[in-house]
Structure 1
C-alpha cells in the first residue's frame, strides 16, 4: 500500500541521486571546459597530441622542429598570461648537477603533456645562485613564478605525499619518501590505473579541482626512463630523439650559458690550443670524506687504463692532455704529480680559478665553465655517484669510464682496478636492477628509480 512515508522516502532518494548527478555534471564540465568553451589563441602552435603527432608524422619531424614549436607555444601563452593553460613548475633542489638532471626531466614531461614550463630555480641547499645567474632565459616572455606557498603548490605537495604514502604502505613500492611529484598514470602504466578506495579517489578529485592547471615537480632525479615504460611512448622517444639521446638534445636547447661563462671557456681554449689529433682526457673525482683525500689509486689506475687503451693502435707517441676537476685540491694535485712522473708526453690542463675577491655568482659561473669544459674532452672518467660527472657525460653525448667510488663505500676498501665502461650517455641515477625497461606497471606497485650506484652497461 502506497503511503505518504513511501512518497517522502522516494523523494529523498531522488534528491540525493539528483545531487550526485549534478555534482558529476559540474565536475565533467570543469574538466572539459577548455575544449567546450575556450578557444586558446596559442593551441594551434602546440597541443596535447604534438609529441605523438611528431613521432608518427610521415613528414620530417624531429626534436628541433618539436622544441621550436613548443617554445613558440610557451611564449604565446606567457605573453597572453593565459590562466586556462596547464603549467608545470620545476622546483629546483640540491646542487648544480642535481638541478640540471631535474630540469631536463621536467622539460621532457612538459613536452609530452603540453604544459608550459616555469623554472623555480632559487638559491638554497648546496646551490647559492639563481637560474639566470648561469643561463639565459628560455625566452623574453618569462613568467614570474607564483608565490612559493601558493594554494596550487600546497595542494600539489599534499597530493604527491599522499600518493607516496599510499604506495609505500600498501604496495611496498620503491618510491623514495622525499619525492614530491606525481606522474600521470597513463604515461607510466600503459593506461592501467592502480586500485584505490573510493575515499582516495574522491580526495584526488578534490585536489585536482584546486591545482589542475599548475603542477609543481620538486625533484633532482633524471626520471626519463620512467616515461618510456609505456610502449607507445617508448617508440615515440626513439623516433624523435636520435639514438635515444634525450639529455644532450634538450640540454643544448635549454642550457644557454651567460656571456661570462662563455668567456671563461674561450679563454681556456685560447690558452690550450691543442690540435684535434691529440688526446684529451677529462677526469672528475669527487670526495665525500676527509680521510680519502690522499687516496688516488682508483683514479690513477683508471687513467693509466684509458691511456693504454686509446694509444694502443698508434705507432707514434701522441701528446696527451689531462684535465682534472676535484672538490679537494690536495687530492687533485697529488694525482697530477704522480701522473706527470709517469708520462713524459702528458700535459696537465689547469682549470681556471675565480679571483680571490669573487662573489658567489662569479664562483658558480666558474664552476659551470668547468663542467662545460669537462664535457668537451675526448675521453671522460667520472665518479660513480656524482651528478656533476653524470651531467658532463650527458652533455658530451657519449660513453664514459666509471670509477666506482661513492659516499657509501668511500671509507671502505676500494678495488683499485675497478674502472668500467658505460656506453650510454643518458644519466643513470638509480639502484642497479630497480628499473626494467620492458616492464609495464602492475596493479600492485612499480619499481621507480632511486639514488644509487650507476648502472654499467
Structure 2
C-alpha cells in the first residue's frame, strides 16, 4: 500500500502544523521567540513562573526575559512559600488599584499637595530614590519593596535617565515608575542626610513623635550607608507607629537594609510566614522584581549563545577592587589562581610546554570574567591559550566589557553592568569579590553560594585566600547597632538566631537559616590574618580605661543605694565547650561579675577565665555587694530610664530637686571607641545618649574652660562655694595630666561637699587619679572595706568593667589559638619608647636581652652555631612582643630562628602588628590595640616598659607583677636594667602635691602608709599593701 507511509506522514504533520498556527496566531511571528525556547508554550509552566512567583498574565513580548530566563539558569531548588505567592498576588491588585494615573493615585496626590490626610484612603506609598551603583540600587529597591509589602504600601521608583530601559515593569497592568509630574519632583534631588525635614532630623529635633496629632502628609527617610542614629530609629517598632499614619514616604537608600526588618517584632510573624527559608529572601524577591528589558536581554542571550552555551561547565569570576594601592593587580591575580586551583574549579597548566593545536579531547570549561579592567582576563586567557592544562581540560576565557571605571550615571554603562550580572547568574559556579553588591545580586539571582575572594589589605594576600559563602543572602554593610527595646547600643547580630555577621565583612549582618554558631575555623584564620596584616595602634586613650575605673569609684562614694537583689541564673548557654555549663565562681571572677547577662552578647565576659590563669586575688564580699547595688542604681537611673529623663529636664532648666538621688557613670563614646568594649552593667547602657543636651559643648571642654570647677574656684566665683545655696545643675571637672592647682582641689574633702550636691559632673581625664581618692578622709572607711588588699584595686575594677566586644574577642582568641596555645610557657614583652633620640634601638634591644637573660626568662643562644633543623625536644616558649616598630621582633626572631639555645629550649617569637606611630583616633586600630593588651594579659610572664599605661592595663587585667624595663635616658642603659614591680597597681603620673588640711604643698606619697612613689616614675604615686 504505497499510499500508507504518506498517510502516516500526513497524520504526523497535521498536529504539528496545527500547533504552529496556534502559536503564530497568539504571538505574531517574532524571530527571537521562534528561535527560542521549547518550553515557550501558550501558558507558562510552573518552572517558567518560578514556582508561582511570577504572575502568568503579563504579555511575553513586552518582557522576553520574564519567562525565558528559566532556560538559561538552572531550576531553583528553593521554592517560594505559598504565603509569599499569595501576598504577591494581593500586592499586584493593590498596585493596580493605587498605582500611577489611577483615581486613587490622583486623589492621594491632591491630599499630598494640600497637606491634608484622609484617614479613609486605602492607598499609601513608598517612593524610592536612586543612590550609588547598580548593585546597591537593586539591593535597596528590594529592601524597599519588602517594606512596602509588610506595610501595605505601593512602591514607586524615581527612574532617572541612567536607569531607563534597564528593567521590565514587574507588576501586571500597572507601572512602578514615579510619574514625571509628581508635585515635589524638584525637591527629590536636594534630599540628603542633612535635609531638615527628614524623619531622622525631625526625631532628633523633637518635631515629631508618637503623640504628635497633626502629622505631615509626606516624610523623607534617609537610609544610606552614612545615615546617623536618628535615621536608624526607622528600625524601631515605636517609630514605625508614627510612619504607619503618613501616606507618602520618600526613601533615599543605597544599602540592603532588609535584614534589619527581621529585628522588628511588629514584622516578625509576617516575615516568618513569607520566608520560612531565611536565606532565600533576595533569591525570591530579586527574581520576582528584576527582569532585564528586551534591549538588555538581547545583549545577554546573544553573548551567552555565542561564547558560553557549548561549554560543559561555566565558571563566573567577578572581580571588584576598591583600592588599587592596597590590592595590586598581581596580588589579586595570584589570589584568584590560588583559589580556583585549591577549590578545583580550574586546572593548572604546564608552563614548560606550549599548545601547538587544541586537542579538544578534555572537558570544556568557559570562564566568564567581569571586571572594570582587562588585566585579569588577558592574564588568564594567555595562560590557558598558550599552555596545556595538566588534566587535559580545555579552558576558554571571556570578558564581555572593561569600562576602566564605574560610571553609575551612564545609562549604557548600567545596561552593560546589568547584562553582566545576569550572565554571572547563569554560570554553574561563581567566584565573587568580598564586599561587592554586584556579586551579591548575581549569586542571589543564580541561587548559588559563591566562593568569596577575601579582601586583600596592605598588599597582603589573606590566608585562606577564599571561602564558600554559608548563606546565599546579601550582606547589610551598615546595620544599626541599637536595641530599640533596651534603648542601648548592641551587636544586632546577636539578637535573633538567624541574623549573624557576614563572611566577608565582619561588622555587616545577613540572614542565615541556622541559629547562632561560633565562627568557623576559616573565619577565625581570616581575622587572625587581619590582625597580623593590619598595623596595630597603641592608643594613648588607654588612660581613659583607667580614668573610667576611678570615676566609677566616685560614683560609689557620693551616692549609695541600700537595696539588694538576689542573683538570678537565667540558664545561659554558650557554644564554646570551655565555658559551657553553670557560671561558676571562677567564671564570675569570685563574684565580681553579675550572672544575668546573655553570653552571646559578650563572649569574653565569661570566657576570659579560660585564657587567663585564675586570679589569686579574691574581691572582698563588700565590693561584690556594692557592685550589685550599683548595677541596680544604674538600671534605675541610666539612659532612657524615667529618672534619667527627669534629670535631663532639670539639667536643661537649671533647677535642682533635692529629692534627686541618681549618680551613675556615663561614657561619652566617640567614633574611635565604638564596638571596643561590651556593656559592663546588666540591662542598661553606660553610653551617654547622642541626644544629650550639651553634646556639642563636650568636645570644646578643655583646661582653660571658664566654667570648669577649677577655674570657677580660681576666680573666687561666689556662685559656687560650700555656702552657696543655688548651685548649678552641672559642672565641668578637668582632671587631665596638665591640670592646675585649682583643678586638683577636687581631691579635697571641703570641695567634695560642693560637688556632692551637683547632679551632673562632666569629667575630662586621661590619668589614673584613683590613688588620690585614698588621701580623702571622707572616703577612707569605705575604701578600706572595699579594698582590704590595696594593690588589687585596678585588678578587680578593670576585670569588672572592661570586656572586649565580640569583634575584638574573635581577634584575641583566634590569634591565641593559632600561635600561642601550644607553647609550654608564654612570655609577653611590651615595648614603648617615648623618645627615640634618648633611647636608641640597639640600646633598648640590649636592655631587653640583658633583662630576660638575667631573670632567666629566655635562654641565651650559641651565636657560633646555626640551626639546621628544629630539634623540637626542649621546652617550648612563645614570646609575644608588642611594639610600634618591627625591629625588636625581627631581631629576636632571627636570633632564635638561626641559632640554637644553650639549654635546648625552643623559642618562637610573634608580633601581631607594628604601627610605626600612634593613631588613637582610629576605631579599627583601637580595637586591635585592645586585642594586644588582652593577649599580653594572658601570658605567664610579663615584661613591660616604664611609664606605659598600655603595660599597666595588661598587668592589671592579668593580675601579674611584671618585670619593668627602666627608662633609658641620655643614651645610657640603667643599672639595673629592669626590676620586678613591687605592687600590681598602675602609677598615677600627675598626683596633687597639696595637703588639703594644712593648706600647703606636700609630698603626697608620705601622707598615708599605703601610698608611695612608683617604681618607674619617682614623682608618681601608687597603692601598696605595706610600707
User: What TM-score comes out, normalization by structure 1 length?
Assistant: 0.61
Cα drift, residue 52 of structure 1: 11
Q: Larger deviation: 235-244 or 363-372?
A: 235-244
Deviation at 1:158, TM superposition (A): 3.0
Establish whether residue 63 from structure 1 lines up as the match of residue 617 from structure 2: no
Contact 2:812 2:935 in 1 (8 A): yes
1:420 Cα shift?
A: 0.9
Please state how far the C-alpha of 1:61 moved relative to its aligned partner: 4.0
Where 1:381 maps in the other structure, the secondary structure is: strand
- Equivalent in the alignment of 1:255: 802
Q: Which runs of 5+ in 2 are unaligned?
A: 1-555, 565-619, 652-660, 717-735, 861-872, 916-920, 1006-1012
Relative to structure 1, is the Cα distance of residues 306 and 181 closer, same or farther in structure 2, using a 3 angstrom cutoff? farther
Q: Distance in 1 between matches of 2:979 and 2:801?
A: 30
| Alignment-derived partner of residue 178 in structure 1 | 739
State the alpha-carbon separation in 2 of the partners of residues 233 and 52 from structure 1: 17
Shift of the 158–381 alpha-carbon distance from structure 1 to 2, 3 Å rule, reads: same
CA shift in 2, pair 1:379/1:435, >3 Å: farther
Cα distance in 2 for partners of 1:165, 1:329 equals 50
- Residues 151/143 of structure 1: CA separation in 2 closer, same or farther (3 Å cut): closer
Distance 2:563 2:858 in 1: 44
Are 1:136 and 2:136 an aligned pair?
no
| Residue pairs, 1:68-83, within 5 angstroms | 68-78=628-638, 79-80=641-642, 81-83=644-646
- Counterpart selection for 1:294 from 842, 861, 864: 842
- Look up the match of 1:397: 959
Q: 1:319 aligns with which of 876, 901, 911?
A: 876
CA apart distance, 1:287 = 2.2
Q: CA deviation at 1:335?
A: 3.2
Matches within 5 A, 1:91-130: 115-122=663-670, 129-130=672-673
1:418 is the counterpart of 2:982: no
Residue of structure 1 in register with 2:709 after alignment: 159
Is this contact kept in 2: 1:322–1:349, CA < 8 A? Answer: yes
Change (3 A) 1:156 1:347: farther
- Gap change, CA 1:275 and 1:331, over 3 Å in 2: closer
Match 2:885 to one of 299, 307, 328: 328
Given the alignment, which residue of 240, 257, 265 partners 2:786? Answer: 240
Q: Which residue of 1 aligns with 2:499?
A: none
Q: Hey, what's the Cα distance between the residues in 2 that align with 1:308 and 1:224?
A: 32
- Asked if the contact 2:955–2:984 (Cα under 8 Å) also holds between the matched residues in 1, the reply is yes
User: Map of 1:192-207 to 2, 5 A cutoff?
Assistant: none
Preserved contact between residue 710 and residue 745 of structure 2 (Cα < 8 Å):
no
Q: CA deviation at 1:147?
A: 1.4
| 1:273 to 1:332, Cα distance in 2 relative to 1, 3 A | closer
CA distance in 2, matches of 1:51, 1:418: 49
SS at match of 1:257: coil
By how many angstroms is 1:265 displaced? 1.4
Contact 1:430 1:453 in 2 (8 A): yes
- In the other structure, the counterpart of 1:373 is 935
Native 8 Å contact 2:945 2:951 kept in 1? yes
Secondary structure at 2:955's aligned position in 1? helix
Number of residues of Structure 1 aligned to a counterpart in Structure 2? 342
Distance 1:354 1:383, change over 3 A: closer
**Mapped contact 1:85–1:213 kept (Cα < 8 A):** no
**Alpha-carbon distance in 1 for matches of 2:913, 2:834:** 22
Comparing both chains, which one has the higher relative contact order based on Cα–Cα distances under 8 Å and sequence gaps of 6 or more?
A: 1
Cα distance change, pair 143–304 in 1 and its aligned pair in 2 (3 A): same
Equivalent in 794, 797, 812 of residue 265 of structure 1: 812
Aligned counterparts of 1:230 and 1:442: Cα–Cα separation in 2: 13
Over 6 Å off, 4+ runs: 51-54, 85-88, 150-156, 448-452, 454-457
Secondary structure, counterpart of 2:888 in structure 1: helix
Task: Give the whole-Å Cα distance in 2 for the aligned partners of 1:319 and 1:248.
Answer: 29
Using a 3 Å threshold, how does the CA distance of structure 1 residues 219 and 448 change in structure 2: closer, same or farther? farther
Secondary structure at the counterpart of residue 136 of structure 1: coil
Structure 1 residues 136 and 431, CA, compared in 2 at 3 Å: closer, same or farther? closer
The answer for unaligned runs of 5 or more in structure 1 is 1-45, 55-59, 89-112, 124-128, 167-174, 195-203
1:279 to 825, 833, 840: 825
Specify whether residues 339 and 372 from structure 1 end up closer, same or farther in structure 2 by C-alpha distance, changes over 3 A only. Answer: same
Deviation readout 1:180-218 (Å, 9 max, x if unpaired) = 995676xx45x4679xxxxxxxxx98xx79x92221221
Superposed CA offset, 1:156-187 (max 9, x none):
85322355799xxxxxxxx96436995676xx
- C-alpha spacing 1:372/1:193, structure 2 compared with 1 (3 Å): closer
Q: How many Å separate the matches in 1 of 2:557 and 2:794?
A: 22
1:442 is matched with which residue: 998, 1001, 1013? Answer: 998
Quick check: 378-387 or 327-336, which moved more? Answer: 327-336
Does the CA contact (< 8 Å) of 1:87 and 1:215 recur in 2?
no
Would you tell me which structure has more helix in proportion to its own residues? 1
Separation of aligned partners in 2, 1:333 and 1:151: 41
Alpha-carbon distance in 2 for matches of 1:369, 1:86: 40
**Aligned partners of 2:634 and 2:888: how far apart in 1?**
46
Contact 2:896 2:908 in 1 (8 A): no
CA RMSD of aligned residues (A): 4.7
Distance 1:150-1:121 versus aligned 2 partners, 3 A rule: closer
Give TM-score scaled by structure 2 length.
Answer: 0.29
The aligned residue for residue 560 of structure 2 is: 50
- The change in CA–CA distance for 1:63 and 1:86 in structure 2 (over 3 A counts) is farther
